[in-house]
A and B are shown apart, each in its own frame.
Chain A
């Protein structure tokens, strides 16, 4: 926790007068969710170092699950909290708590998916046996033959989750930056750990890292500019500085622009989206699901806070820009998704499209806008994790069809994921239940009534029209129509096409994926049919504390 406490002291110009060090007061209760997750992550590293290999897997799974569930419990116990903590570095308000709760709930499911190792009959490990061995090398073969398992993914995930919890809560830009890095760095690594198509996976990790590092640099530079303008990195003080001197200032405008690049990169908005399809495709699918759902929640939380707490005085300047970004994001997401032949890439463009929708909520600058954004993030997160969970179960029937894999000589192994759309033909006949699950998620993405996606879109569009952004809603509607085409195409493929002769097999997972699938389907339908409880929760949570 040294990072946090150091940071807590950091904001504000440092005055060299005081020689004595006064330890900042730390509100442990408010910080508990983050402390628990970071603590579990640190323990995870110790487990990795000291426990014998055979016991690590279960220890890590137990530790990770316990960590996120306990943290979730603390978030729930903190409900209604409205205070800043750690010397005002972190603000624990409704938005933070709602998003932290969402992230942790999604994290529980993501941990279950990541922990999936298959059953006695099939091996479903998504991660490289030994990350350090080069693809196709003797070392890799030896590691696989020895049955090694990557268990370092669990502490990495926990660190990332911890960063995600901090990101939307950060009340000053420096804390934001640290959170951004803590959430991103483990993700870069995790993206490169795929067991199959390792080169693709490593390429994705490299791409993500390079572009991510660039965007972080932009973000940091933006912070510097804003500090130059306002003399503080505290969000509320930036807001005060803006209201005191309402004229535009180069430092201010440039700072906002650079900050926006960093944030829009993380949410995957056009024109900062280029990494999304490649990374989503290359990363191990459980990680893709985790990343697509939770990172988006955290990043939109941070975007909301910066826009609503620090920059409300500049909304006439940043709103037109976000209008443009939202329009581009929705249209590009929808149109490019149509041309995709790979299911993971298609879902990636669908994620871009959804980022465009969520921007509508950010743009509306009303309490309704905030609450609809919160609700949509939760609805979208569950459906996304579920959709990627389905992807992990549809496998090539012929092991070793993917050239870079050497897994075919391991007994009990199946092929890699059959992500080419053509392979999904006739899935409805092969495995009606799985196809039905996937259909639910696709219908939710397409915004068909009685699914969570519809309720969410409805809330967002209502907020946007309320805020006067009706042209955006028109674009959103047109994008939805285009999007319906590619979602429906997959449904057609699954139900109305004949299965390929050498088509994929649908593997039976261990209870972990089954639980995750069940929960996501149930949440997707529940948030569509009876959304009142969640909507109320989001409504009550739509307040900020500075």
Chain B
């Protein structure tokens, strides 16, 4: 553990970038883009630098910082990352420059129409990055909540100011759903705080203190209260993730926002939901988590199938991708609540992979849509004849989304299903059919848009140019790289998962005879 404040630095770089971009004169749109990109690349650099300092066998939380913030409520500015938070922060840091590159010209039209400025668009992205880093890095529950809520504001303006025709409606729906969930979390947060004051020496918001006190039985919240508090947190995370039946805001928000915002919304913001379930719900309320597991598993499996089925029926490309995400979030939740080390490692890995593959899918879909100006699947056809590179990239992103072996999502989806199978065989079998549905919606989408005779109006469609290739190339490289060699991520994630499981007091079920050899060796350490 070095004394260098890595996490604060990491959050401060994009914040400084946001301020710098916002301070540029309005007409210097191009400069704003370059400055924003430079800051996001610098953030990525800091993030990678930090990751190299992460000690795999070290303390659970590393790069910790703690400063008193509001003494009256025992609130600290407490930062620190465990393995899961680290990989999610890295994912966010990777996605940001990619998104900026992909969103290069999104705001030009609005600026030339005299409505909104390019600098605002890019400044909001960087501001959002600070919040995203903060929300994963916070180890003080109050600070987490602050970032959790504050994150909504830049996202809200990104959707509401720069999206499609229904953007205002979508932005408000997004904000209200999230605020509603967040308020329940606030109530639970206060409840937990008050309860901690009754059982511990002093009320606290420090996650480590609380989790350890819960694990050691020192913080003996009554089961009824624990259930209520669990639900408070869970509703907030279920709305954020989003889990069936709290999902209806996502298709609107994703379809109406620009592709860049959609990537961050689905790729990073929504991960806070599953991340929160894994870290906060399970560790703070282990008993209640076990109690509600059947319910959550039920919601997850319904969401998985429902999202997949609805995705098949969509006519709008971005809505389709949004529904596939609902399906995938069902699977991630399944992995989290299967309470096996494979399931949870898979879920953690899935969060990263989903960010990469869905991010790539949204970005390529955005390239496609910007060329034709329509989000409707019916307006496309035979694109691979005029834009083979675009079609190829779209295919790879799609295949990753349907979890083709060799691409990153496969590993995580497989782990989730195996992890679930160890405990809930029937559920796992049903969930596996979602993979077949995934093949259906992805391949059918590809077939309708990319193959067949060229649709009228698509003649002369340009293929990907250098900037667009630069935007997707890192994602594709990671998708393929992690598909073949997920070990670096799993090595970092596994110790955190082990701690979580030990806090929930769940052991992996004893493996069935002969089954051990066929399972991948996840817990190699």
Residue numbers of A with Cβ under 8 A of B are 429, 446, 448-450, 455, 458-459, 461-462, 465-466, 470, 473-474, 477-478, 480-481, 484-485, 488-489, 492, 495-497, 530-532, 535-536, 539
Q: Are B179 and A465 in contact (CB under 8 A)?
A: no
Cβ-defined contact, A466 with B71, below 8 A: no
The closest CB in chain A to the CB of B116 belongs to: A429
Chain B residues, CB < 8 A from A530:
70
**Is B194 located at the chain interface by the 8 A CB criterion?**
yes
Q: How far is the CB of A38 from chain B (nearest CB, A)?
A: 35
Contact A465 B191 (CB under 8 A): yes
Contact A462 B146 (CB under 8 A): no
A496 contacts B183, CB within 8 Å? no
Contact of A470 among B115, B160, B184, B191 (CB under 8 A): B191
Best-buried of B69, B150, B186 by chain A (most CB within 10 Å) = B186
Residues of A within 8 A of B149 (CB): 448-449
* Interface positions of B from 135 to 170, Cβ below 8 Å from A: 145-146, 149-150, 153, 157, 160-161, 167-168
Q: A466-B194, A496-B161 are in contact. Are A473 and B180 (CB under 8 A)?
A: no
Would you call B72 an interface residue if the criterion is a C-beta within 8 Å of the partner chain's C-beta atoms?
yes
Pair A496/B168 contact, Cβ less than 8 Å: yes
How many angstroms from the CA of A496 to the CA of B116 in the assembled complex? 10
In the complex formed, the residue of A with least CB distance to B193 is A462
A450 in contact with B187 (CB, 8 Å): no
1/0 per residue B367-379: CB within 8 Å of A?
0000000000000
Which of A450, A458, A495 touches B190 (beta carbons < 8 Å)?
A458
A65 CB to closest chain B CB (Å) equals: 33
Enumerate chain A residues within 8 angstroms of B150, measured Cβ to Cβ.
448-450
24 contacts between A and B (CB under 8 A): A446-B179, A448-B150, A449-B145, A449-B150, A458-B73, A461-B186, A461-B190, A462-B190, A462-B193, A462-B194, A465-B191, A477-B186, A478-B183, A481-B176, A481-B179, A481-B183, A488-B179, A495-B157, A530-B70, A531-B70, A532-B69, A532-B70, A535-B71, A535-B73
Chain B residues in 8 Å Cβ range of A477 = 183-184, 186-187
Q: Which residues of B contact A474 (CB under 8 A)?
A: 187
Please state if B180 and A532 are interface contacts (CB–CB under 8 Å): no
- Chain A residues with CB under 8 Å of B282's CB are none
Q: Does B103 contact A (CB under 8 A)?
A: no
**A496, B167: Cβ atoms under 8 Å?**
yes
Asked, given contacts A458-B73, A496-B161, whether A488 binds B172 with beta carbons under 8 Å apart, the answer is: yes
User: Does B171 lie at the interface of the complex (its beta carbon under 8 Å from any beta carbon of A)?
Assistant: yes
5 A-B pairs with least C-beta separation: A535-B72, A449-B146, A496-B168, A481-B180, A477-B183
Q: How far is the CB of A67 from chain B (nearest CB, A)?
A: 33
Indicate which residue in B72, B175, B176 contacts A539 across the interface (CB closer than 8 Å).
B72
**Roughly how many angstroms separate A311 CA and B184 CA in the complex, as a whole number?**
33
From A466, A496, A531, B160 is in contact (CB under 8 Å) with: A496
- Asked if residues B194 and A465 are in contact (CB atoms below 8 Å), the reply is yes
Q: How far does the alpha carbon of A429 sit from the alpha carbon of B72 in the complex, in Å?
A: 40
CB distance from B150 to the nearest CB of A (A): 6
> Given the interface contacts A458-B73, A485-B176, does A480 sit within 8 Å of B194 by beta carbon?
no
CB neighbours (8 Å) of B168 from chain A are 492, 496-497
Give CA–CA (A466, B71) in the complex, Å.
18
Residues of B within 8 A of A462 (CB): 73, 190, 193-194
- Compute how far the CA of A532 lies from the CA of B71 in the bound complex, rounded to whole angstroms: 6
Chain A, Cβ-Cβ closest to B232: A477
Across the interface, do B73 and A450 meet the contact criterion of CB distance under 8 Å?
Answer: no
Scoring A470, A488, A496 by chain B CB atoms within 10 A of each residue's CB, the highest score goes to A496
A458 to B167, CA, bound (A): 32
Which residues of chain A come closer than 8 Å to B176, judged between CB atoms?
Answer: 481, 484-485, 488
The minimal Cβ–Cβ distance linking B65 to chain A, given in whole angstroms, is 18
Knowing that A477-B183, A489-B172, A530-B70 are A-B contacts, what are 17 other residue pairs whose CB atoms are under 8 Å apart, sorted by A's residue number?
A448-B149, A448-B150, A448-B153, A449-B145, A449-B146, A449-B150, A450-B146, A465-B190, A465-B194, A466-B194, A466-B197, A473-B190, A481-B180, A484-B175, A488-B172, A492-B172, A496-B168
- Output the least CB separation between A482 and chain B (Å): 9
> Do B183 and A535 touch across chains, with their CB atoms under 8 A apart?
no
Q: CB-nearest residue of chain B relative to A461?
A: B190
Q: How far is the CA of A470 from the CA of B194 in the complex (A)?
A: 11
A530 CA to B318 CA in the complex, in Å?
A: 42
When distances are taken between beta carbons in the complex, the residues of chain B under 8 Å from A495 are 157, 160-161
Closest approach, in angstroms, between the C-beta of A397 and any C-beta of chain B? 20
Task: Establish whether residues B179 and A492, one from each chain, have CB atoms under 8 Å apart when the complex forms.
Answer: no
Nearest A-chain residue to B177, judged by Cβ = A481
B71: chain A residues at CB < 8 Å are 532, 535-536
A429 to B26, CA, bound (A): 14
**Whole-angstrom CA separation of A448 from B184 in the bound complex:** 13
Q: Enumerate chain B residues within 8 angstroms of A466, measured Cβ to Cβ.
A: 194, 197
- Complex CA–CA separation, A459 to B190 (angstroms): 9
Task: List, in ascending order, chain A residues with CB within 8 A of B157's CB.
Answer: 495
Chain A residues within an 8 Å CB radius of B69: 532
* Minimal beta-carbon separation of B435 from chain A (angstroms): 37
Which residues of A have CB within 8 Å of B183?
477-478, 480-481, 484
Contacts of B161 in A (CB 8 A): 495-496
B171 touching A496 by the CB < 8 A rule?
Answer: yes
Once A461-B186, A485-B176 are accepted as A-B contacts, the answer to whether A492 and B72 lie under 8 Å apart by CB is: no
B145 contacts across to A, CB distance below 8 A: 449
Using CB atoms, name the residue of chain A closest to B150.
A449
A458 CB to closest chain B CB (Å) equals 7
- A473 near B187 with CB under 8 A, answer yes
A485 to B194, CA, bound (A): 28
Which residues of B45-102 have CB atoms within 8 Å of chain A's CB atoms? 69-73
- Chain A minimum-CB-distance residue to B114: A429
Q: Which residue of B lies closest to A487 (CB)?
A: B179
| Chain A residue contacts of B146, Cβ below 8 A | 449-450
Given known pairs A458-B190, A477-B184, the reply for A484 and B179 (CB within 8 Å) is: yes
Kindly list chain B residues whose C-beta atoms are within 8 Å of the C-beta of A532. Answer: 69-72
A337: min CB distance to chain B, Å: 15
Q: How far apart sit A466 and B198, CA to CA, in the bound complex (Å)?
A: 9
Chain B residue numbers with a CB within 8 Å of A448 are 149-150, 153
- A492-B180 in contact (CB<8A): no
Cα separation A352 to B387 with both chains bound (whole Å):
60
Of all chain A residues, the one with the shortest Cβ separation from B149 is: A449
| Shortest Cβ distance from residue A450 to the other chain B in the assembled complex, whole angstroms | 6
Q: A474 to B157, alpha carbons, bound, how many Å?
A: 29
Bound CA–CA A489/B176 (angstroms):
10
CA distance A35 to B174 in the complex (A): 53
Interface centre among B153, B193, B194 (most CB of A within 10 A): B194
Q: Kindly state the separation between the CA atoms of A350 and B146 in the bound complex, as whole angstroms.
A: 23
Bound Cα distance from A455 to B72, whole angstroms: 11
Instruction: Assess the B187–A492 pair: CB atoms within 8 A.
Output: no
B180 proximity list for chain A (CB < 8 A): 481, 484
Residue of A nearest to B184 (CB): A477
Which residues from chain B contact A536 at a C-beta distance below 8 Å?
71-72
Q: Which residue of A lies closest to B68 (CB)?
A: A532
In Å, the complex CA distance between A241 and B280 comes to 51
Cα of A470 to Cα of B160 in the assembled complex, Å: 35
Determine the chain B residues whose CB is within 8 A of the CB of A450 once the complex forms: 146, 150
CA distance A459 to B160 in the complex (A): 32
A-contact 0/1 string along B186-227, CB 8 Å cutoff: 110011011001000000000000000000000000000000
On chain A, the residues within 8 Å of B187 by CB distance are 461, 473-474, 477
State the CA gap A462–B186 with chains docked (Å).
Answer: 10
**A481-B177 Cα distance, complex, nearest whole Å:** 9
Contact at A535–B191, with CB atoms within 8 Å?
Answer: no
- Chain A residues contacting B179 (CB-CB under 8 Å) are 446, 481, 484, 488
A68 CB to nearest B CB, Å: 29
A459 smallest CB distance to B (angstroms):
8
Alpha-carbon separation in the docked complex, A465 to B157 (Å): 34
Whole-angstrom distance between the Cβ of B147 and the nearest chain A Cβ: 8
Please report the C-alpha to C-alpha distance between residue A83 and residue B36 in the assembled complex, in whole angstroms: 60
- Give A451 to B441 CA distance when docked, in angstroms: 45
User: How far does the Cβ of B487 sit from chain A's closest Cβ, in whole Å?
Assistant: 39
Given A449-B146, A477-B187, is A492 in contact with B171 using a C-beta cutoff of 8 Å?
A: yes
